[in-house]
Each structure stands twice: as structure tokens, then as C-alpha cells.
Amino acid sequence: MRAALAISLLSAVVLGLASPTGLSNLKVKESVSSPRGWIQGTRAPADHSIELKIALPQPNFNVLEKHLYEVSDPSHSRYGQHLSKEAVEELVAPHATSIQLVNAWLSSHGFEEGDFSRSPAKDWITLRVPAVLAEKMLDTTFHVWTHEESGDAVIRTLSYSLPESLHEHIDLIQPTTMFARMKKQKTTFRWSEKQATSAAAPGSKIQLSNGISVDASCNETVTITCLKELYNAVGFEPSAKNGNQIGITGYLEQFANLEDLKLFFADQNPAAVNSSFKFVSINGGQNSQNVSEAGAEADLDTQFAFGLTFPTPATFFSTAGMPPFIPDIGTPTDSNEPYTTWLDFVLAQSVVPQTISTSYGDDEQTVPVNFAQRVCNGFAQLGARGTTLMFSSGDGGVGDGDPDPATQQCFTNDGRNATQFLAGFPASCPFVTAVGGTIHVPEVAVSFSGGGFSKTFSRPAYQNAAVEDFLQNKLPKGRYAGLFNPNGRAFPDVSAQADNFRIFFQGSPGLIGGTSASSPTFAGFVSLLNSARLSAGKPPLGFLNPLLYSTGELGFNDITIGNNPGCGTPGFNATEGWDPVTGLGTPNFAKLRGIVLSV
């Protein structure tokens, strides 16, 4: 009887939605202020193709989150019991009512099931439509918006509407109101005759307070050998046969050149010279092997992550997305930032690398809150399945991502133009591990290390004690009041060396720096820990942060010197314990190995 009544009610709602009254009762779903630094231009060409991504609610995400924390907490009986792909999809699936109502709405605009695609969990719908139809569906007008500084152009709107009866069945539709500009996290790439010499020549040793001995040359040039010495991993050999894998993401046409990788291996890890990586193209992503098109970011990420973990099987994901729109040419695609494209692909795979590093990010305030939350939820799904995700914390200190403090624009993007420290996304997502940066031996915080507090995400329980200790006991009372959200998710979580990395780029050696170096570095050591666990018959680490902020704290080198200036301030200071410059510190692999093998 109840089932029959439910079906009857649903039919009535669908019929009501399909009626002229149901469709005409439009209400604004989302609106934003005119974004700082963007200029509105002409109306979008009517035939311009827009790929809309429609997010349906995930009513049971709180249950998934509960599972995630249980399998990631080393003190919980379920630690390491990660969920299957199918179990995760079931937990994020929308209600049947939402699916049917959205189907009815799409049908009213002439779409059939074969005209769009769904994610495996059916929580995302992707369809490509001409701008004129998108305007009709969303009761809005799209314009060409141009970014003043870069000249990049996108098609966006400041608001869109949906039938009021659909608001609880659609979380968001993008790209509509999102003016994010995905950026590589990279500060410097420079050359000199001195830097082009071989990295193999030994020098005198630096004796650290923890008993570790590091070659003195590591103060000027960072190599794989330097990192293994500094982070106490000399002599550990990962297995190529225990199922462990490591992945690197590539965006914005950053190509990882195989000849550069071979030169790097010959220089720093000769045993790996004849090895390579698996290339995976997503959404038409390319990986040109024309040496002149090699990407410094992609070369850095793959050379150090894969060099540290050889012979662990490695994957480079190349995801296309967010090309500039050129009105006079009529570029056929205009996508939102491609994290969702990557997530759509990876979440659909049965096997995913246990460790993945990303060296790209946006200013958090440029990413609509509901969109950031849905992307973050996607990262949580991977964590629940046993994958550890590392993201660079950013290269602008407490500023807007610009590594030059003199040119930072630390203003809110909500029409108030208020001065504020600006967090980076996805580093601010509580379901990823954000990696800040250090420099020199002994280590100090590197000045550009991104760190601070999110405005979008509240502080997760796993870091409450560490962050409260910093706010109450390490930060002078009243300092920077109003410039940051003390209740927000704090980052970075950890750090690693972030400057003077010796790579090969377009056939020549040189030095590069940025948290785009620290993230793949830290990921490399996480992969080594995963190798140790898998060889011992244990599951991979998965979502790492609950471990890091509990028993894992004992496995880090605390960094207490340095700061991360920005926004016309000295920024935060590195202190004893966690701080928003270097997080918990840098890894001591031997200690961490003992910790992760004991849980």
C-alpha cells in the first residue's frame, strides 16, 4: 500500500513538473557577485557548445563519511578495511525520485537518455548543449568573460534558475558561475652553468640533530639521493610485484617527456633508465613527446615521484579541460576546471593507484562553495576505497597564489573587496593531504609555502587538537584577527623539500622549485610506506590525515624556523608542533614505516 502511494505521489510530481506551471515556476538556484579581475564582454555565441555537469544530491554521503573515518582511524577496529567501488557508489547514489524528476526536466527540453552520460553512481549527469539552449534551460544569459591579467576568456553567467520543485533534487549545474583559473603550483625554473653539472659528485656531510647524515651539496641542489638521506629512507627497496602503484595527474597540456625522464634516471637512478610509466588519456588529454612541448611541471612531478619509487608501477594521467575560449574562432569546448573530469574517470575504474599526487590548484574563493564541496566529496570516495591523495598547498604563502608578495591581490571576491588571507583549493579540502614546503639542510620553511585556513570547509575533528594548540598557544593573541577563519580546515598537513630540485627539461638539466616539488616528493614516500604495508600483507594507507594527526605525528621532523609572507604581512610562523606553514613537518621514513607496520 505504501509503495503504491509513493509511486502515485511521484507520478503526480513528475506530471506537475512537466506541466507549463511546473516549468514556469522558476527560482534562482545560484548567483555570484561580479568576479574581481574579470570583465564581462559580448553575449555568448548562440551555437557555442557548453558541457553542462549536473550534480544530483548524495543523501547518504554522511554515511560514506562515517565509513571513511572509521577505515582511516588507526585506533578503530575497522582500520584499513576500505570499501569496494560498488559499496562507495551505492552510498553516494541519489534517490530514485531525484533521478526521475531530473529526467522529466531534461525530457521537457527535448533530451533523451542517449543524449547525456551518467557517472557510475548516477550522481552526475553530463550533457553538451548550445549556449542558446543552455540559456533557455537555466533562464539566464551567458557572456564572454575575460580575465584582465592573463587574457583568458570563458563563457559564464552570474546566476541561473531552475524550476523551484527541482531545487532539492539538483545540487548544482556548472560551468555557470565558476570563475576559477586552475594554475600550476610552481615558483621558479632557472638555469646556470653550475646547476648543469653532474649531481653525482659527493661532498662533505651535514650531521642533523636526529642523527641523520646528509650530503652538503643538498643545500644547493636537491636530488633523489638527497631526499632519501634527508628523510631516512636509504636502503629501502620497494617491490614491483605486491600490487602497489603510484599516479601523477597532469592538466593544462603539461606533457611528461620520456627522453627527459631517461636523462633524469641516468643522472639520479641508473637502475631505472629503461623503465617508463603508463600513460592514461582522459577527455582527450595528450602527452606529446615533442621535446619542445615538454612541461616543466609534468617533468618535475614524474621524475621525482617515479624516481623515488622505482620499480613501483607508475601512471601519468593527462586530463584535458578548460581551454581558453576564443570568440572569433568559435572554440568548440568550454569546460569547467577538470577535477570533475578526472574524478569521473578514476572513480569508474576498478583499480586505482594507492598514491596520487596533484600539483595544481585554484584560489578557493573563485570556486563556488557547492561545487568545491562536491569535488571534495569525490576525493573522499577515493579515500574510502584506499587511495591517498596529495595536493600542493600553494606557492603564495598566505596570499592569493601569486608567488611574488609584491603583486598579490588579497581581496575577497564577494563584492566587498575586503583584505583577507586567501586559501587554495583543493588543498583546503579535508579529505586530501596538503603538502607545504621547506628548504635547505637543516630544514626551514620555504617562504612561499602556502598555508592558512579555509572559508569553505570547517575544521575536521582529526586536526582539532593540533590546530587549537597553535591558535591558543603559538599565535600571538589578536594577530591577523579578521584576516582568516580560525574555525576553517587548516593546511598544510605536512611538508617536504620544495626548491632547487634538479630535473631534466627539454633535454637539459636545471633547477626548479615550488610546492609542486614537495607534493610528488611526499607522495613518493607515502608510496614507499604503502609498499612496505602491502609486502607485509596489510592494506594500503588510504586517507592519510587521521593517522598523521594521531600516532603518525611521531614520524615527522618538526620544522620550527621560517614563515610564509603574503598580503603585506609576514604571514604565519613555523613553530613547535603543527603550524600553517609546514604542517606537522617533514617525513622520517624509518619512523613512519615502523608506525604504519604496527597498525
> pLDDT per residue over 47-87, tens digit each?
999 999 999 999 999 999 999 999 999 999 999 999 999 99
Residue matched to cell numbers 653550475: 194
Residue pair 365/37 in contact (Cβ under 8 Å)? The answer is no
Residue pair 139/160 in contact (Cβ under 8 Å)? The answer is yes
Within a 13 Å sphere around the CA of 8, how many CA atoms are in the beta-carbon half?
5
Residues with Cβ within 8 Å of residue 66, at least 6 apart in sequence? none
Nine-digit cell string for 215: 650530503
- Does the domain made of 184-340+355-378+388-597 have the CATH classification 3.40.50.200? yes
Residue pair 282/559 in contact (Cβ under 8 Å)? The answer is no
| DSSP state letters, 309-350 | HTTS-EEEEEE---PPP-TTTT-S--PPPTHHHHHHHHHT-S
C-alpha separations of 56 from 93, 102, 105, 291 in Å: 8, 8, 13, 43
What is the rounded CA–CA span in Å between residue 29 and residue 160? 6
For residue 324, how far is the Cα from the chain centroid? 21
301 is catalytic: yes
Nine-digit cell string for 156: 559564464
What is the rounded CA–CA span in Å between residue 103 and residue 289? 43
Q: What angle do CA 540, 120, 26 make, to 5 degrees?
A: 125
Residue pair 289/257 in contact (Cβ under 8 Å)? The answer is yes
590: which strand partners?
none
For residue 312, the model assigns a pLDDT of 98
Nearest of 590, 527, 503, 509 to residue 304 by alpha carbon: 503
Q: 31-50: b or e for each residue (b if 16 or more CB lie within 10 Å)?
A: ebeebbbbeeeeebbeebbb
C-alpha separations of 550 from 39, 75, 139, 359, 521 in Å: 47, 9, 50, 26, 22
Domain range list for the chain: 23-76+90-179, 184-340+355-378+388-597
516 is catalytic: yes
Residues contributing to the annotated binding site for Ca(2+): 558-559, 577, 579
> pLDDT per residue over 478-524, tens digit each?
999 999 999 999 999 999 999 999 999 999 999 999 999 999 999 99
Q: Phi first, then psi: what are they for 513, rounded to 5°?
A: -145, 165
| Tens of pLDDT, residue by residue, the chain (599 residues) | 333 433 343 444 445 554 444 556 999 999 999 888 899 999 999 999 999 999 999 999 999 999 999 999 999 999 999 999 999 999 999 999 999 999 999 999 999 999 999 999 999 999 999 999 999 999 999 999 998 887 888 899 999 999 999 999 999 999 999 888 776 655 445 444 445 445 445 679 999 999 999 999 999 999 999 999 999 999 999 999 999 999 999 988 889 999 999 999 999 999 999 999 999 999 889 899 998 888 999 999 999 999 999 999 999 999 987 544 555 444 444 445 578 889 999 999 999 999 999 998 888 998 889 999 999 999 999 999 999 999 999 999 998 766 666 677 798 888 788 899 999 999 999 999 999 999 999 999 999 999 999 999 999 999 999 999 999 999 999 999 999 999 999 999 999 999 999 999 999 999 999 999 999 999 999 999 999 999 999 999 999 999 999 999 999 999 999 999 999 999 999 999 999 999 999 999 999 999 999 99
For residue 24, the model assigns a pLDDT of 62
Residues contributing to the annotated binding site: 558-559, 577, 579
**Catalytic residue from among 123, 297, 364, 395:** 297
**Catalytic residue from among 392, 495, 516, 519:** 516
Number of residues that this document lists for the chain: 599
**Could you tell me where the DSSP H helices lie in 356-514?**
369-384, 464-469
Angle between helices 258-268 and 296-309 (to 10 degrees): 40
Angle between helices 339-347 and 85-92 (to 10 degrees): 130
Please give the order of strands across the beta sheet that includes 424-425: 183-184, 360-363, 424-425
What is the rounded CA–CA span in Å between residue 173 and residue 275? 43
**Catalytic residue from among 301, 362, 493, 499:** 301
For residue 23, the model assigns a pLDDT of 55
Q: Phi first, then psi: what are they for 184, rounded to 5°?
A: -75, 140
